[in-house]
């Protein structure tokens, strides 16, 4: 791994905006002392470097080699302290924690009454912002302070604190169980993708039903509902119930619509909700709703209705452009979609320190699919090979598998069939190894392998026969996933009618929405 990607301090310095750098220099300048001069010099060197280089640090500062590690750790902490003081990074959770720290200091100084006042204010802020875990922590400290600050109202006060503690404890327990379930389902979605057979489905259903805590929807707070909807969303996506995933993605987004403060306090959750709403609409092919939701999302971003920082800016870019590309797929506008690729590549470069490799590979697969639909098969292969040759990609096994299948078709269409037999064998072995060889894939690969034995005048008949065989699997509970990554049916219809895939998809769109 390159040093610029592995050095945490270098990444942090490079993530700072101009205003954050200016604020840090003002903050550090007030500290004084020789050690501060050293870490300011270190900051200046790192700020100028394009690639992390320890030799440059030693040559341009008074820091000795044995001091580099400690100097870097000191600078890292001071940058974080400076950022914490920046109003743009303040949120309700940080404000509550700050008040909790203040209350602890006051308690340690024996100022019990003042400590309780601060704790009460912090508790109300935590509860109003659905921070039940923090509220529980505050109440536990209130108990400690009250035990030192004896008053006549101690008896009723103790009862109140115990009741609040028990209520928050129950809420925290449900929240913890729901968030655990949500995270485990999400992890399964990223690692394996959709369920592949009845065995997978039964195991998932059993896990979901036994892990889902008992709850009364009317008594759940916003955060508990959020994790509940997320858990149901992942479950429906995994089981390929895309109407169900749309229903719960809409519930997710509606939480923020009816509680606007949540959008400000939890912009990441809101962005993810919008993205999964769009993805679900894409999967059920609901073009009108997809377009209106995408337009609404873009307007929100343009009108600064969503709180953007370095993290949310990267997420907003990912979700906006992935779904812009999906719109081209829904409409069959593959050639028009190609114009978006340079812009996306430029954005990827500008966000490269904050975008994980998995999402970049997803973009590459979409680029490849656009080029395939536009009959640019060599460019399609170019992007697929970036995925296939990526040895670091451990997530989304389905993406790895279908990249190889699309690669086979692209090689055939490009007339690069001299190595097709070798590619077919390697793809077959890979799918078996990954346990991804399904009936649709078997039939399709067998067809490609037999193409060299089919006379030119018999090709159309062979395409018709394969189309008839595969068409019955379009709505199969498990086999239909093959058509989500590669529209084999439309490709076969284009071969049968001797027209482009783009014209086939556009024709289907017009018929569906006429």
Q: Render 205-253 in DSSP notation, one character per residue.
A: HHHHHHHSPP--GGG--HHHHHHHHHHHHHHHHHTT-HHHHHHHHHHHH
* Contact criterion met (CB below 8 Å) for 91 and 262: no
Query: For residues 1 and 256, which has the higher predicted lDDT (pLDDT)?
Result: 256
Structure confidence at residue 36 (pLDDT):
59
Using alpha carbons, select from 300, 305, 297, 304 the residue that is nearest to residue 321. 297
* Contact criterion met (CB below 8 Å) for 232 and 277: no
What is the rounded average pLDDT of the residues 111-135?
88
CA–CA dist 89, 101 (Å, integer) = 18
* 317 part of a folded domain: no
Output the CA angle 313-365-238, nearest 5 degrees.
Answer: 80
And the tokens for 353? 């320190």
pLDDT band at 394 (very low <50, low <70, confident <90, very high): low
* 159 part of a folded domain: no
What is the rounded average pLDDT of the residues 386-415?
82
CA–CA dist 57, 54 (Å, integer) = 5
Structure confidence at residue 2 (pLDDT):
39
CA–CA dist 294, 274 (Å, integer) = 9
* 78 part of a folded domain: yes
Confidence check: pLDDT of 395 > 70:
no
Confidence check: pLDDT of 160 > 60:
yes
Query: For residues 129 and 486, which has the higher predicted lDDT (pLDDT)?
Result: 129
Confidence check: pLDDT of 31 > 70:
no
CA–CA dist 47, 291 (Å, integer) = 42
Structure confidence at residue 338 (pLDDT):
96
Q: DSSP secondary structure string, 137-186? A: HHHHHHHHHHHHS--TTHHHHHHHHHHHHHHHHHHHHHHHHHHHHHHHHH
Q: At what angle do helices 198-211 and 154-192 cross, to 10 degrees?
A: 170
Structure confidence at residue 419 (pLDDT):
78
CA–CA dist 119, 122 (Å, integer) = 5
Structure confidence at residue 5 (pLDDT):
44
Residue 175: other Cβ atoms inside 10 A: 22
What is the rounded average pLDDT of the residues 487-500?
90
Helices (H), 303-419: 310-331, 334-337, 341-350, 357-373, 377-388, 397-413
Confidence check: pLDDT of 85 > 70:
yes
Number of structural domains (the chain) is: 1
Contacts of 232 (CB under 8 A, 6+ apart): 244, 248
For the ranges 90-104, 213-227, 284-298, 386-400, which has the lowest average pLDDT?
386-400
Confidence check: pLDDT of 456 > 90:
no
Structure confidence at residue 312 (pLDDT):
86
Q: Do you know the residue count of the chain? A: 514
pLDDT band at 51 (very low <50, low <70, confident <90, very high): confident
* 362 part of a folded domain: no
Find the domain containing 25 and state its range: 3-89
* Contact criterion met (CB below 8 Å) for 56 and 65: no
3-state secondary structure of 301: helix
* 54 part of a folded domain: yes
pLDDT tens string 262-307: 888 889 999 999 999 999 999 998 999 999 999 999 999 998 888 7
- Residue 53 burial (CB < 10 Å; 0-12/13-18/19+)? middle
Using alpha carbons, select from 174, 173, 270, 272 the residue that is nearest to residue 225. 174
Largest distance between two CA atoms of the chain: 99
Structure confidence at residue 416 (pLDDT):
86
Sign of CA dihedral 224, 227, 231, 237: positive
Confidence check: pLDDT of 391 > 80:
no
pLDDT tens string 128-141: 888 888 888 898 88
The DSSP letter of residue 338 is G
Confidence check: pLDDT of 98 > 60:
yes
* 356 part of a folded domain: no
What global pTM score does this model have?
A: 0.78
Using alpha carbons, select from 139, 147, 141 the residue that is nearest to residue 163. 139
For the ranges 69-78, 370-379, 388-397, which has the lowest average pLDDT?
388-397
* 189 part of a folded domain: no
CA–CA dist 265, 91 (Å, integer) = 6
CA–CA dist 220, 175 (Å, integer) = 9
For the ranges 91-95, 282-286, 396-400, 497-501, which has the lowest average pLDDT?
396-400
CA–CA dist 273, 89 (Å, integer) = 22
CA–CA dist 22, 44 (Å, integer) = 12
Structure confidence at residue 152 (pLDDT):
46
Contacts of 87 (CB under 8 A, 6+ apart): none
What is the rounded average pLDDT of the residues 198-221?
92
* 34 part of a folded domain: yes
The DSSP letter of residue 481 is G
């Amino acid at each position: 791994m390159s040093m610029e990607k592995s050095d945490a301090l270098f990444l942090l310095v490079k993530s700072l905006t101009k205003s954050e750098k200016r604020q840090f220099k003002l903050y550090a300048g007030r500290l004084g002392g020789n050690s501060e001069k050293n870490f300011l010099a270190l900051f200046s060197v790192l700020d100028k470097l394009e690639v992390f280089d320890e030799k440059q640090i030693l040559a341009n500062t008074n820091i000795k080699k044995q001091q580099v590690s400690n100097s870097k750790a000191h600078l890292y902490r001071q940058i974080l302290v400076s950022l914490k003081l920046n109003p743009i990074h303040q949120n309700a959770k940080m404000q509550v924690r700050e008040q909790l720290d203040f209350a602890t200091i006051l308690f340690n100084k024996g100022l019990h009454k003042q400590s309780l006042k601060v704790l009460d204010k912090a508790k109300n802020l935590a509860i109003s912002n659905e921070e039940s875990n923090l509220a529980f922590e505050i109440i536990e400290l209130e108990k400690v302070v009250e035990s030192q600050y004896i008053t006549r109202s101690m008896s009723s006060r103790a009862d109140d604190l115990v009741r609040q503690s028990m209520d928050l404890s129950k809420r925290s327990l449900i929240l913890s169980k729901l968030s655990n379930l949500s995270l485990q389902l999400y992890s399964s979605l990223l690692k394996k993708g959709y369920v592949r057979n009845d065995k997978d489905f039964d195991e998932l259903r059993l896990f979901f039903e036994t892990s889902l805590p008992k709850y009364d929807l009317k008594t759940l707070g916003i955060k508990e509902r959020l994790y509940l909807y997320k858990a149901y969303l992942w479950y429906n996506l995994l089981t390929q119930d895309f109407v169900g995933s749309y229903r719960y993605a809409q519930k997710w987004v509606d939480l923020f619509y009816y509680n606007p403060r949540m959008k400000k306090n939890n912009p990441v959750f809101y962005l993810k909700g919008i993205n999964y709403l769009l993805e679900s609409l894409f999967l059920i092919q609901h073009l009108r709703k997809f377009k209106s939701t995408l337009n609404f999302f873009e307007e929100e971003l343009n009108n600064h209705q969503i709180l953007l920082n370095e993290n949310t800016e990267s997420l907003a870019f990912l979700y906006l452009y992935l779904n812009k590309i999906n719109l081209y797929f829904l409409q069959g506008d593959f050639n028009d979609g190609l114009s978006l690729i340079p812009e996306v590549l430029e954005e990827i470069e500008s966000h490269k320190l904050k975008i994980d490799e998995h999402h970049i590979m997803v973009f590459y697969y979409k680029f490849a699919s656009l080029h395939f639909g536009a009959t640019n098969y060599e460019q399609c292969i170019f992007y697929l090979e970036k995925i296939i040759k990526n040895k670091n990609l451990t997530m989304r096994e389905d993406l790895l598998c279908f990249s190889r299948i699309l690669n086979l078709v692209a090689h055939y269409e490009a007339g690069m069939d001299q190595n097709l037999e070798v590619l077919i064998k390697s793809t077959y072995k890979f799918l078996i190894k990954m346990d991804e060889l399904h009936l649709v894939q078997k039939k399709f690969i067998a067809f490609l392998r037999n193409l060299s034995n089919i006379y030119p005048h018999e090709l159309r008949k062979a395409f018709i026969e394969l189309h008839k065989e595969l068409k019955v699997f379009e709505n199969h509970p498990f086999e239909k996933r093959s058509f989500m990554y590669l529209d084999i049916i439309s490709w076969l219809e284009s071969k049968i009618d001797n027209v482009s895939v783009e014209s086939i998809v556009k024709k289907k769109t017009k018929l569906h929405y006429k």
